[in-house]
Amino acid sequence: MTAVGTDGAGGDRIAVEERDGICTITLDRPEVRNAIDEETIDALHRTLDRLADEDAVSCVVLTGAGGKAFAAGADIAQLKERDRADALRAINSTLFKKLEEFPYPTIAAVVGYALGGGNELAMACDLRVAGKSATFGQPEVGLGILAGAGAIERLPRLVGLGRAKEILYTGRFLDAEEALAIGLVNQVVEDHAVMETALDLAKAIQKNDRLALRLTKASLNATARANDQVGLAIDAIAQAVCFESEEKHRRMGAFLERRKKKG
């Protein structure tokens, strides 16, 4: 069975294709490098909720349109206007937690930029396939905030605490080969082969027993996230403080001005 479409009210944000038990979700805002705004978050919530109730889907592949970015972070114009109440709502981290808890395996197929919330979105997936052009990073501290949508919990699990601290403190970018070397991604292939590789991986997973896969994922998550509830609560409180700071508004305003001048 093949079903292709968009997500209802958020249809201009994501495209959804279901084929033979594998669902591909594409972030579809290439004109802004698939920046994750609140409408995209809402569309992904609706889609994941629907898929979780469908027996036909046993694996999800998440990717970005346009070939230049998986997701180049949160929408800075929206983020600049968010206040401490928004931080405490944990808008992005609530979605990423839902993705991490999705009953069946998920794969991020990454070409181009996966920065900030984009990298956190990829890390919320079970596996990551990267193209050679892929660039990863958490530049939030340079914008006066913290990586409060899951990087503080998930990045150390993937790359170790010491490397995670370096990446989060400096905000530097990592290329695909470094990401592979430190365990941030599972495979690196040519850009044109990313989706084929991710789908082949999904097919290999799909051959196995659905119940065993679901229970394996649930057990792994339970073991790995023993203290994450406390961590996410601390993230939300810390982000609430940052969202009200003058420096956050100054830095994000400067970022938006630089982007405007670049066109």
* Among candidate residues 68, 92, 70, 69, the one with its CA nearest the CA of residue 79: 92
- Taking the alpha carbons at both ends of the chain, their separation in whole angstroms is 42
Q: Could you tell me which residues come within 8 angstroms of residue 260 by beta carbon, excluding any fewer than 6 positions away?
A: none
**Separation in Å, CA 100 to CA 6, 107, 148, 201, 238:** 22, 11, 15, 18, 22
> What gap in Å lies between CA 184 and CA 128, rounded to an integer?
8
> What gap in Å lies between CA 62 and CA 16, rounded to an integer?
9
Residues identified as active-site: 120, 140
Q: CB pairs under 8 A, 24+ apart, for 25-31?
A: 25/60, 25/61, 25/62, 25/63, 26/62, 26/63, 26/64, 26/65, 27/62, 27/63, 27/64, 27/65, 27/70, 27/71, 28/65, 29/65, 30/64, 30/65, 30/66, 30/67, 30/68, 30/69, 31/66
